[in-house]
């Protein structure tokens, strides 16, 4: 199975400041079709997960542009340019280069 490792596991951010989460996979997520199958999801407290980013760097519909994804191969980053209070929750990366789909451990983001 592809192991997904996120760092840090928790993050306390002042509103308006940037935040960055790293996600590393145990194998390359670049598929033969040229796409890289790395996703980001946010789970706000008491809610189901919601999609943020697909295929490394593409925002799902309705996701604010302060969220951006980057990376390639096995190393990926989610950045929030200016954290807002509504961004609190647990962020998960997920790979779908192969089955089973596997998630990172999650990074809990809170506001200072």
* Residues contributing to the site for another protein (CB under 8 A): 35, 37, 39, 41, 43, 48-51, 54-55, 60, 90, 92, 94-96, 99-106
CB of 96 vs another protein, minimal distance in Å: 3
- Given a contact cutoff of 8 angstroms between Cβ atoms, the answer to whether 74 and 28 are in contact is yes
CB of 101 vs another protein, minimal distance in Å: 4
User: DSSP labels for 20-51?
Assistant: EEEEEESS--B-TTS-B-EEEEEE-TTS-EEE
Which of 17/98 has CB closer to another protein?
98
CB of 103 vs another protein, minimal distance in Å: 5
Which of 15/110 has CB closer to another protein?
110
Which of 41/80 has CB closer to another protein?
41
Kind and range of the H or E run holding 19: strand 19-25
- Given a contact cutoff of 8 angstroms between Cβ atoms, the answer to whether 95 and 29 are in contact is yes
CA separation for the pair 32, 9 (Å, rounded): 31
Which of 35/66 has CB closer to another protein?
35
């Amino acid at each position: 199975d592809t192991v997904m490792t996120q760092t840090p596991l928790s993050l306390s951010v002042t509103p308006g400041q940037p935040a960055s989460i790293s996600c590393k996979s145990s194998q390359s997520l670049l598929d033969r079709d040229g796409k890289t199958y790395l996703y980001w999801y946010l789970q706000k407290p008491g809610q189901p997960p919601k999609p943020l980013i697909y295929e490394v760097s593409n925002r799902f519909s309705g996701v604010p542009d302060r969220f951006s994804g980057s990376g390639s191969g096995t190393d990926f980053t989610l950045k929030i340019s200016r954290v807002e209070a509504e961004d609190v929750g647990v962020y998960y990366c997920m790979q779908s280069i192969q089955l089973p789909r596997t998630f990172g451990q999650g990074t809990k983001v809170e506001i200072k």
